[in-house]
Amino acid sequence: MFAAIFCRRVLRVLAVCFSISAVASLAAAQEAEDKAGWWRFRGPNGSGVSSSTRLPVKWTVEEADWRVQLPGVGHCSPVIRGNHVFVTCGEEDSGHRQLLCLTADSGQVVWKHTIGEAKHRKHSLNSFASSTPALDAERVYVSWVDAENQLQVKA
């Protein structure tokens, strides 16, 4: 009888320890995902899904922390590393493409890089800079097709 009670107590303690360990592991994984950023199209694993529990359920313009007017038409998904947000846009009149680096907390432009490509035919629902940038630890990568249908990649 004593052995059975002792075994149940040991199993309960082990179950509680396992539960605490699992919760701590999930919290650590969430923190690591938050620190890693959103560095490519559809996020860290390409699924478009975040496990963050701090995302808003409803989103209104009034609740946004900041808004920024892009110097051209932008259709890319923003990518994030640390306190920097990277977006692309294209000028409809000239065909120039721009890569912008903004601060995540205020939307201030940190820098912008203009690539002076020639205007060419494109799909009516796209801009000249529709592709989403990608990040690694040191660089930002963007790609576009030029007027000769050649892939242009910049880092």
Assess contact for 84 and 110: CB atoms under 8 A. Answer: yes
CATH number of the domain at 83, please: 2.40.10
> Which pLDDT score is estimated for 103?
94
In this structure, the answer to whether residues 80 and 144 fall within a common structural domain is yes
Containing domain of residue 15, as a range?
1-36
Assess contact for 100 and 70: CB atoms under 8 A. Answer: yes
Q: Is the dihedral angle over the CA atoms 73, 77, 81, 85 positive or is it negative?
A: positive
> Which pLDDT score is estimated for 33?
46
pLDDT tens track of the chain, all 155 residues? Answer: 555 554 455 434 333 333 333 333 333 334 444 456 888 777 887 888 888 777 777 888 888 888 888 888 888 889 999 999 999 988 877 878 889 999 999 999 999 988 777 767 766 777 777 888 988 888 888 887 777 766 666 66
In this structure, the answer to whether residues 18 and 70 fall within a common structural domain is no
Instruction: Report yes or no on 44 lying in a domain.
Output: no
> Which pLDDT score is estimated for 12?
47
Q: Which of 73, 89, 80, 61 shows the shortest CA–CA distance to 134?
A: 80
> Which pLDDT score is estimated for 47?
81
Instruction: Report yes or no on 19 lying in a domain.
Output: yes
In this structure, the answer to whether residues 75 and 149 fall within a common structural domain is yes
Q: In what order do the strands lie in the sheet with 151-154?
A: 134-135, 140-145, 151-154
- Alpha helices, DSSP H, located in 1-155: 2-36
* Cα dihedral 63, 69, 70, 71 in deg (nearest 10): 180
